[in-house]
Amino acid sequence: MTLARGRGLRMIPGPSVVPERVLNAMHRAAPNIYEGELIEMVETVRADLCRVARTAGAVAIYIGNGHAAWEAVVANLLAPGDLALVLATGRFALGWAETARKAGVETEVLDFGFRAGVDIGRLEARLREDRAGRIRAVLVVQTDTASSVRNDVPAIRAAIDAAGHPALLAVDCIASLGCEPFEMDAWGVDVMVAASQKGLMTPPGVAFTFHGPKAEAARVPARSATWDWEPRIRPQQFYQLFAGTAPTHHIFGLRAALTMLLDEEGLEAAWERHAVLAGALWAAVEAWGRGGAVELNIAERQARSHAVTTIRTEPGAAAALRRWCEAEAGLTLGIGLVAPGTDERAIFRIGHMGHVDPPMLLGTLATVEAGMKAVGIAHGEGALSAAAAAIAKARPVAREPAAAVG
């Protein structure tokens, strides 16, 4: 037998849980792609994506996943032989670098390891060394989904400015957009990439690039008709927005998701919800760690993602725990995605991005604790009450005085 006979829950760092509203919005007949509702809806989706990014710049939408958005940035901003400085704090900036290299771009990686964010002093020193201004762009992720580090984007911008360096700042917000505070224009970010399937609560399949005036002025002749920003941003005809057929049903889904995020919940409220849930999760892991080999991968609180959390445990134990949670309890956790030389079987991840509320998070934590007991991972007690207390503390409410009896 198995206990996994309920609805099942995927708490992985993307694709995230898709709200019924979004699924239902997608469940409809194919639309007219030449005129009418879809064409008008795309304009509202483009405008709302810019509201989520907090930019007055341009957005391009691609049929593709996050890797496609990486490639689009490379195709429009980096010519073969250009140098990109890649700030690695896990796995994902390295993936972007790989995409750039395949396109003939030279890359230099500054590696800050798997357990901390970008060292701002080191970045500034490297930029100061580059007197000839060879570095054309700095590539960094806001949240690295492997390590669960959250980089300080304003501090990275400040380092570039302090060094007086002209490099473009390109930020991958695929895991963090809609979950963590991000202000593209106010923070001086020149290019940002995102995708539908994480904080934006829509199935994987569409990705986005946003760019501001500095990136617009720095464009290189696009080496690919598919990725070229020009027709996607200033189309003469509707199909050019997507270099072909529109992702019709993804547009319907995104429309619903953006309404939920921007107009019903509010972006700041969504950021706060993610912060509260992340704080509850950290409190639980810290309690587990007070009696066993369980710890947060990122020790520094300010450097932790609010969208995904990477947890370290005993060698070999994470794989057994994940298997138990899935087979016995219907809970899918994220696999360990690690830096070379780390044992991925000692790491698991919990995704808490997008459409997530306290019962989902607390249910996950309780199930993980049951799994730890079942597979024999030593852990401290009190994790669940610590998580519950963190949530209660964030949302206190004054109780009405009890009515007098009798």
Binding site for ligand PLP (CB under 6 A): 14, 65-67, 92, 141, 143, 145, 172, 174-175, 195, 204
The residue count for the chain: 406
- Min. distance of Cβ 65 from ligand PLP in angstroms? 3
Residue number with CB closer to ligand PLP (165 or 306) = 306
Task: Kindly report the backbone phi and psi dihedral angles of residue 160, in degrees, each rounded to the nearest multiple of 5, phi listed first.
Answer: -65, -45
Determine the distance from the C-alpha atom of residue 387 to the mean position of all C-alpha atoms in its chain, rounded to a whole number. 23
- Min. distance of Cβ 392 from ligand PLP in angstroms? 30
Task: Kindly report the backbone phi and psi dihedral angles of residue 10, in degrees, each rounded to the nearest multiple of 5, phi listed first.
Answer: -105, 105
Residue number with CB closer to ligand PLP (31 or 204) = 204
- Min. distance of Cβ 399 from ligand PLP in angstroms? 41
Residue number with CB closer to ligand PLP (141 or 283) = 141
Residue number with CB closer to ligand PLP (177 or 319) = 177
Residue number with CB closer to ligand PLP (145 or 313) = 145
- Min. distance of Cβ 400 from ligand PLP in angstroms? 44
Residue number with CB closer to ligand PLP (66 or 371) = 66
- Min. distance of Cβ 247 from ligand PLP in angstroms? 14
User: What number of other Cβ atoms are within 10 A of residue 223's Cβ?
Assistant: 15
- Min. distance of Cβ 197 from ligand PLP in angstroms? 6
- Min. distance of Cβ 94 from ligand PLP in angstroms? 10
- Min. distance of Cβ 324 from ligand PLP in angstroms? 25
Burial degree of 403 (CB within 10 A; 0-12, 13-18, 19+)? exposed
From CA 131, how far away is CA 134, in angstroms rounded? 8
Contact call for residues 178 and 354 (beta carbons, < 8 A) = yes
From CA 88, how far away is CA 101, in angstroms rounded? 15
Nearest to 116 by CA among 139, 161, 148: 148
From CA 343, how far away is CA 331, in angstroms rounded? 22
**Which residue is closest to ligand PLP by CB?**
66
- Burial pattern 363-392, b for ≥16 Cβ within 10 A else e, equals bbbbbbbbbbeebebebbebbbebbbebbe
Looking at the DSSP assignment, which residues form a beta bridge with residue 333? 11
Residue number with CB closer to ligand PLP (48 or 172) = 172
Residue number with CB closer to ligand PLP (116 or 391) = 116
- Min. distance of Cβ 338 from ligand PLP in angstroms? 15
Residue number with CB closer to ligand PLP (72 or 174) = 174
| Antiparallel, parallel or unpaired: β 308-312 and 347-351 | antiparallel
